[in-house]
C-alpha cells in the first residue's frame, strides 16, 4: 500500500532522485543446466575446487546458488584433462549447482612471475614448479569445457590500473580480438553459457567500443573487467555509472572481484547482477567477521570472555552454538575450526545481504542499508 503524500517541491525532487538512484537495480533468475541463480547473486570463491574451510553442502546451506573456480590454478594442479577423466569439476568437488570459472589471464598476471603476452596468448611459468605453460583464448576455453563449467569466461587481458589512454586502448583491442577467438572456441550447449568481459579501464569511449565489439559476439552474459584492481570505490562507481547501460538489458551483468557490502549495494543500484569476492572467506580465516554491528576483529582481546554470539539472530553454526570467546580462542591458537566457523558465518552474512537486496528490489523498496 503506497500512500501518496504531497511533499513540498524540493523534497519531491530528492525522493524522485532516490528512486531514480534505484531504477537500474533489477532482481531476476538465471536458468542453467545445473540449476537456477537468483540475482543479484554473490558467488563464493572456490579457486582450487574448494571454498576454503567449507564443505560444499555447508556452502549450500548458506544459500549460495553458484560458486567460482579458477582455470589458472586448476590447469596447473590437478590438470584439466585429469579432472575431465575423473568426471568433471562438479563431480570431483561434489558441487552439483552452477559453477563459473574465470578464464585465467587475470590470475597469470597477478600470480606468475615470468610471463610474456603475445597476440597468440600468454606464455608463463607455473608459480608452483616453474614449468612453462601457455594460455590462449582457445586453450582457456577448452580447459573450462574439460572442467565442465556452467558459465565459461572469455579469455581477456585485465588492463592494469592506472593505465594511459593508449595502453588501455591497445589492451582493450587485444581483449576484443581474444573475445572473438574465445567465442569461436566455445562449444555451446543448452543450459551452459559463455560471458564476454569488457575492458577499457576508466575511459568511457573505450568501455563503449569494448561493449560494442562483444555484443556482436552475442555472449550469454557480460562481465565488467578491469575493476577492483586498486582504483578505489569512487572511481569504480564512476565507471559503473554508465558501463552497465552499455550492455544488453536482458542479459546478466557480472562485476568481477567485488566486493565489500557497500561496493555490492552501490553496484546493484547501478545495474549489476552478479558478484564474486574473496573477502568473506579470506577475511574470515583472518579473524574478521561481518556483522550488522560492523566488522568484528575476533582476535581483539575484548572478546576473550565475551559469552555472546557474533549475531544473536544469525542461524549459522558459529552463532547458534558458539560464543565470541570461543571463536576468539580458536583463531588465536590457529585451530582449523576457527577458520571454518568464521568462514561459514561470513558466507551466511553475504548471502543474507543478497537475499535482502533481492527482496527489497522485488518490493520496489530502497535498499541503501549497509547492515
Ligand atoms: C577486492 C579484493 C579483496 O579481492 C582481491 C584483492 C585484489 O582484487 C582481487 C579482486 N578483483 C578482481 N578484479 C578482477 C578483474 C578481472 C578481469 O578484468 N578479468 C578477469 N578474467 N578476471 C578478473 C578478476 C578480478 N578480480 O583480484 C585478486 C588479485 C584475484 O584478488 C582479489 O582485493
Ligand atoms: Zn552467524
Inform me whether the pLDDT recorded for 5 exceeds 50.
Answer: no
Q: Is the CB of 154 under 6 A from ligand 1?
A: no
Of all ligands present, the nearest one to the C-alpha of 341 is: 2
Q: Which residues are catalytic?
A: 102, 276
pLDDT tens string 261-286 = 999 999 999 999 999 999 999 999 99
Distance CA 174, CA 143 (A): 21
pLDDT tens string 25-73 = 999 999 999 999 999 999 999 999 999 999 999 999 999 999 999 999 9
Q: Is the CB of 111 under 6 A from ligand 1?
A: no
Task: Given the cut 0.90, state whether the ipTM is greater than it.
Answer: yes
Which residues touch 39 (CB under 8 Å, ≥6 apart)?
Answer: 26, 27, 28, 29, 30, 252, 273, 274, 358
Q: Residue 320 Cα, ligand 1 centroid: separation in angstroms?
A: 33
Give the three cell numbers for residue 314: 544469525
Q: Is the CB of 223 under 6 A from ligand 1?
A: no
Q: Residue 278 Cα, ligand 1 centroid: separation in angstroms?
A: 9
Q: What DSSP string describes 154-203?
A: PP-----SS--HHHHHHHHHHHHHHHHHHHHH----TT-EEEEEE--TT-
Inform me whether the pLDDT recorded for 21 exceeds 90.
Answer: no
Query: Which of ligand 1's atoms lies nearest the C-alpha of 104?
Result: 21
Contact 155, 217 (CB under 8 A): no
Distance CA 158, CA 143 (A): 19
Contact 220, 251 (CB under 8 A): yes
Q: Is the CB of 228 under 6 A from ligand 1?
A: yes
pLDDT number for residue 3: 41
Inform me whether the pLDDT recorded for 2 exceeds 50.
Answer: no
Q: Residue 91 Cα, ligand 2 centroid: separation in angstroms?
A: 29
Q: Residue 158 Cα, ligand 1 centroid: separation in angstroms?
A: 9
Packing angle between helix 165-185 and helix 137-147, nearest 10 degrees?
50
Q: Is the CB of 106 under 6 A from ligand 1?
A: yes
Taking all residues of the chain, what is their mean pLDDT, rounded to a whole number?
94
Q: Is the CB of 156 under 6 A from ligand 1?
A: yes
- Residue 255 host element (H or E): strand 253-255
pLDDT tens string 325-344 = 999 999 999 999 999 999 99
Inform me whether the pLDDT recorded for 147 exceeds 70.
Answer: yes
Which residues touch 350 (CB under 8 Å, ≥6 apart)?
Answer: 42, 44, 62, 261, 280, 290
Ligand 1: residue whose CA is nearest its atom 33: 228
Amino acid at each position: 500500500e503506497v500512500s501518496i503524500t504531497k511533499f513540498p517541491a524540493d523534497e519531491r525532487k530528492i525522493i524522485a532522485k532516490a528512486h531514480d538512484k534505484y531504477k537500474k537495480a533489477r532482481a531476476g533468475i538465471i536458468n542453467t543446466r545445473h540449476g537456477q541463480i537468483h540475482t543479484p547473486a554473490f558467488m563464493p570463491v572456490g579457486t582450487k575446487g574448494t571454498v576454503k574451510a567449507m564443505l560444499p553442502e555447508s556452502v549450500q546451506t548458506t544459500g549460495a546458488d553458484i560458486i567460482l573456480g579458477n582455470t589458472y590454478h586448476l590447469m596447473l594442479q590437478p590438470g584439466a584433462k585429469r579432472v575431465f577423466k575423473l568426471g568433471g569439476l562438479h563431480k570431483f568437488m561434489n558441487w552439483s549447482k552452477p559453477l563459473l570459472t574465470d578464464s585465467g589471464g587475470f590470475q597469470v598476471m597477478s600470480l606468475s612471475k615470468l610471463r610474456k603476452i603475445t597476440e597468440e596468448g600468454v606464455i608463463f611459468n607455473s608459480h608452483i614448479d616453474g614449468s612453462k605453460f601457455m594460455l590462449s583464448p582457445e586453450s582457456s576455453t577448452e580447459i573450462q569445457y574439460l572442467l565442465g563449467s556452467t558459465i565459461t569466461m572469455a579469455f581477456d587481458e585485465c588492463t592494469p590500473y592506472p593505465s594511459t589512454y593508449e595502453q588501455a586502448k591497445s589492451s582493450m583491442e587485444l581483449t576484443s580480438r581474444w573475445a572473438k577467438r574465445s567465442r569461436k572456441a566455445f562449444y555451446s550447449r543448452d543450459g551452459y553459457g559463455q560471458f564476454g568481459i569488457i575492458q577499457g579501464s576508466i575511459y568511457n569511449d573505450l568501455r563503449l567500443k569494448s561493449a560494442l565489439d562483444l555484443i556482436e559476439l552475442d555472449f550469454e552474459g557480460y562481465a565488467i573487467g578491469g575493476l577492483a584492481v586498486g582504483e578505489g570505490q569512487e572511481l569504480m562507481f564512476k565507471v559503473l555509472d554508465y558501463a552497465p547501460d552499455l550492455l544488453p538489458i536482458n542479459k546478466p551483468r557480472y562485476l568481477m572481484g567485488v566486493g565489500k557490502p557497500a561496493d555490492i549495494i552501490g553496484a546493484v543500484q547501478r545495474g549489476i547482477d552478479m558478484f564474486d569476492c574473496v573477502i568473506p572467506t579470506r577475511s574470515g580465516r583472518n579473524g574478521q567477521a561481518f556483522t550488522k554491528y560492523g566488522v568484528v576483529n575476533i582476535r581483539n582481546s575484548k572478546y576473550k570472555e565475551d559469552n555472546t554470539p557474533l549475531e544473536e539472530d544469525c542461524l549459522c553454526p558459529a552463532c547458534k552454538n558458539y560464543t565470541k570467546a570461543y571463536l576468539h580462542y580458536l583463531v588465536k591458537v590457529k585451530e582449523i575450526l576457527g577458520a571454518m566457523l568464521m568462514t561459514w558465518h561470513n558466507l551466511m552474512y553475504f548471502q543474507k545481504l543478497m537475499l535482502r537486496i533481492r527482496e527489497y528490489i522485488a518490493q520496489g523498496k530502497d535498499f541503501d542499508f549497509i547492515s
